[in-house]
Chain A
Amino acid sequence: MTDARRTGKPILTVEEVSLSFGGVKALQGVSFDVREHEIRAIIGPNGAGKSSMLNVINGVYHPQQGTIAFKGRKRHDVDPHEAAQQGIARTFQNIALFRGMTVLDNIMTGRNLKMKCNFLQQALYWGSAQREELEHRAKVEEIVDFLEIQHIRKTPVGRLPYGLQKRVELGRALAAEPTMLLLDEPMSGMNLEEKQDMSRFILDVNDQFGTTIVLIEHDMSVVMDISDRVVVLNYGRKIADGTPDEVRANPAVIDAYLGVAH
């Protein structure tokens, strides 16, 4: 059960967003908001458009219609690069880690927006580049401690089991010290223990750093447990929006999941 958390004003507003690929309509006129410091879940059956929604929020996909307003700035579309600069970080459903690099290096890449030295300074290394590198290394080690992955920090991520890779990906997103974190099925493929660990991490991040979290998740018990509010999508449309209890009792939601003949 969630404690009453101090959630603020809406930090993200999605308005009438529609997205299609060729003939396929991934999203149709979806609108909802996300309040600061809250944990918002997006749920729905497979193919409902949840990942697409996340991709629109951080600029990987550009919607044909609708706007996204983040921190008060409304825009029609944005580059993923700009979204990162504005303070949005995310993880991916199929793990988008850099397989050729170690855990430490992967998480360090999350710090790239905070690194100011240019490549000439880096080539010389001794001096400002080294100081910056060590400073960020210290920060990254804090995240490594937080996520309890010290033992694998020098392992190339390609060799890690799935559950640990997901944790590293979370670490990389956290390294950016984001205002809002988008998590795409952070617990898929995990066993019960791993899910509990991951839930704990997510709650801690929200608690300690005040990070707003938007997550897509299929495990209903997790969703009900940790989210403040829930958005339900089905076939690209929003069919419910409210607290976990409200959504659970909503007949449209039950229909969508159990599959009533249309």
Chain B
Amino acid sequence: MLYREAGQFKATYAQDQQIFPIRQDRIAFALLLAAAFIVVPLIANQYWLSAILTPFLILSLATLGLNILTGYAGQLSLGTAAFMAVGAFMAYNFVLRMPWLGVIPSFILAGLCAAAVGIVFGLPSLRIKGFYLAVATLACQFFVLWAIQRIGWITNYSASGVITAQKIEIFAYAFDTPVRKYLLTLAIVAVMALLAKNLMRSETGRAFMAVRDMDVAASVIGIPIMKTKLLAFAISSFYCGVAGGLYAYTYLGTVEPEAFTLDLSFRILFMVIIGGVGSILGSFMGAAFITLLPIFLSVLFGGISHATGMEISHAVVSNLEVIIFGGLIIFFLIVEPQGLARLWQIAKEKLRLWPFPH
């Protein structure tokens, strides 16, 4: 009843091509943005802002990056964390050595460095496919992390390898409270998500999906396979690089290699799978799911502990978390390979008819 398209006619192709063709969706999204920008900073406490919402946004951005590469362009990558690391460390170097640049341009340049690394490690994709490519990206993951720790210049010859991230100052306005960090992250992520959505609904996105679905056919109709694959790696790594910079500056507060291990690469891959391969919305949903699940579990087990008087150790909870992650991956692959995004789409389609059954 609420969610009906009746009466919403599209008179031009421009109207048909909108990101949100249905009016209710537009309203809902506007409300969501308003809530995120205005309501949340007013009511959320420090813990939620700095430990949950900000990392959720950052990981959504990284998931977006991986989704562009793996979901849209079909190139499986296990090196996401390495690209984030490049972004983080290069952002540190730009801010350190060229402070006149400003933080945002430094992030952009750091992202470009990550994109360059992405292109280099994307070159094998021209010859290799599928999980062979995944193994090649493992080479990237291990090598990049090793190189960051060995090339002294990158860490400014820090003895411990752990660097404190500098304060973020844009035009003398310091972003040092959780609220300001959250808003900065939100703004950056929102803009980049919009750019990604535009990109994926244009020819670039179609070229990516064509290469994913059948690259011989794509080549036959004139799509340049090499350029397309390398562009996918570049854009994806750019997104991951910026996410890495944010991860270090607005979340962790430090720039360290241990934050960007293979485990993080896997987590982001899980977010892509659970959220929905080839979906911008799915990237956010997957990131939300995986960020919130540990909290949900510890609340749940805390409750069980209280109710039954049993002590449930931290180790048990974290092992259960791992089991549930793995189990969910399998579950989603069997039941809904297109993830939460598709489930959401199905829900909306049911909503159109509600309260009628068909």
Interface of A toward B, CB cutoff 8 Å:
58, 60, 79-81, 83-85, 89-90, 92, 96-101, 105, 108-113, 115, 117, 119, 122-125, 129-130, 133-134, 137-138, 141, 172-173, 176
Contacts and interface: CB of A to CB of B under 8 A. Distances in A.
A176 B218 CA distance: 13
A173 B221 CA distance: 8
The prevalent SS among residues of B at the interface is: helix
Nearest to B231: A119
B220 A112 contact: no
Contacts of A138: 13
18 contacts: A58-B220, A80-B220, A81-B219, A81-B222, A81-B223, A96-B220, A97-B213, A100-B278, A109-B207, A110-B221, A113-B221, A115-B203, A119-B199, A122-B202, A133-B202, A134-B14, A137-B13, A176-B222
Contacts of B216: 60, 80, 96
Contact of B206 (A89, A112, A113, A176): A112
A133 B17 contact: yes
Nearest to A98: B213
A45 B59 CA distance: 57
Contacts of B209: 98, 100-101, 105
Interface of B: 13-14, 17, 195-196, 198-199, 202-204, 206-207, 209-210, 212-214, 216-225, 231, 235, 278
A119 B209 CA distance: 15
A112 B213 contact: no
B221 A134 contact: no
Contacts, number: 104
Given A96-B216, A122-B204, A138-B13, A112 B223 contact: yes
B235 to A, nearest CB: 7
A111 B222 CA distance: 9
Given A100-B278, A115-B203, A119-B235, A84 B210 contact: no
Nearest to A157: B213
Contacts of B219: 79-81
A92 B206 contact: no
A92 B217 contact: yes
A110 B220 CA distance: 10
Contacts of A141: 13
A134 B17 contact: yes
A112 B209 CA distance: 13
B271 to A, nearest CB: 20
A79 B219 CA distance: 8
B206 A108 contact: yes
A122 to B, nearest CB: 4
A124 B203 contact: no
Given A101-B210, A119-B204, A122-B203, 14 more contacts: A81-B225, A92-B217, A96-B217, A98-B212, A99-B214, A109-B210, A112-B206, A113-B222, A117-B202, A119-B199, A133-B17, A133-B202, A141-B13, A176-B222
